[in-house]
Amino acid sequence: MRLRHNPKADIAVENSEYVEQDPKSRKSRWKEVFGNENPIHIEIGMGKGQFITTLAVNNPEINYIGIERVPTVLYKALRKQEELKLKNLILIAFNADEIGEVFEQGEVERIYLNFSDPWPKDRHASRRLTSPRFLEKYNGFLKKDGYIAFKTDNRNLFDYSLIAAAEAGWKTRNITYDLHNSEFNAGNIMTEYEVRFSSAGVPINRVEIYRD
């Protein structure tokens, strides 16, 4: 997501009560942080936060954590949260490379990956958020019976992800290559990228990735 770097946004993110400043220190204690036993769902690469903020409004009985590595981008989500002050939403300005140090085994019930950066060059494949390297990290904290919900406009990344999941021993279900015209569209919340691509006529791919 390209946004002109905004130093004021960095400062606001670094000082906000809605942004967890030391996420690694919360490992295995996220329920305490939220102050309840509700399930935890996370979005990695949330961008400007439209998707996760809407989910948090619609589902007060679920705790949400939105992760975004670019503070200037995360700031857009922060502005929404400053208005809404949702008790079930926490933001993290963080590179998911270190996500294994943030969550304990079984701590997260669902991972949302929406329109993740495709990293089209083969030599960058391990940076893709659906690569075996990342699936291994998710395996360290995704609850049994939990799953990864992945949406993308990018057919190459989608096909790669299905293969990567199978090779890493994960299973896939509810696959669609045209989400908005499929049976899986009921209740779908659109992301910023999804609005942009679908209004340009690009079909959206979606899959759920899980373990037995």
- Cβ atoms 114, 41 nearer than 8 A: no
For residue 78, the one-letter residue type is L
Residues 133, 157, 211, 91, Cα dihedral to 10°? 70
Residues between 10 and 49 with contacts to ligand SAM, criterion CB under 6 A: 44-47
CB-based burial label for 139 (10 Å; 0-12, 13-18, 19+): middle
Kind of pairing between the strands at 108-114 and 142-152: parallel
Beta-ladder partners of 42: 65, 111
Name the minimum Å distance from CB 45 to ligand SAM: 3
User: How many chain residues touch ligand SAM (CB under 6 A)?
Assistant: 21
The correct pick among 10, 101, 117, 208 for binding ligand SAM (CB under 6 A) is: 117
Of the listed 10, 22, 97, 117, which one is catalytic? 117
For residue 204, the one-letter residue type is I
Name the minimum Å distance from CB 152 to ligand SAM: 9
> Mask of contacts with ligand SAM, 48-87, x by CB under 6 A?
-------------------xxxx--x--------------
Enumerate residues 6+ apart whose C-beta is below 8 A from 14. 21, 71, 93
Can you tell me the distance from the alpha carbon of 40 to that of 65, in angstroms, rounded to the nearest whole number?
7
117 is catalytic: yes
The correct pick among 141, 150, 170, 193 for binding ligand SAM (CB under 6 A) is: 193
Contact between 93 and ligand SAM by CB under 6 A: the answer reads no
The correct pick among 170, 191, 205, 207 for binding ligand SAM (CB under 6 A) is: 191
Residue 36 or 185 with smaller CB distance to ligand SAM: 185
Number of other CB atoms surrounding residue 123 within 10 Å? 7
Interface residue list for ligand SAM (CB under 6 A): 1, 44-47, 67-70, 73, 95-97, 114-117, 191-194
Q: Which residues are catalytic, by number?
A: 117
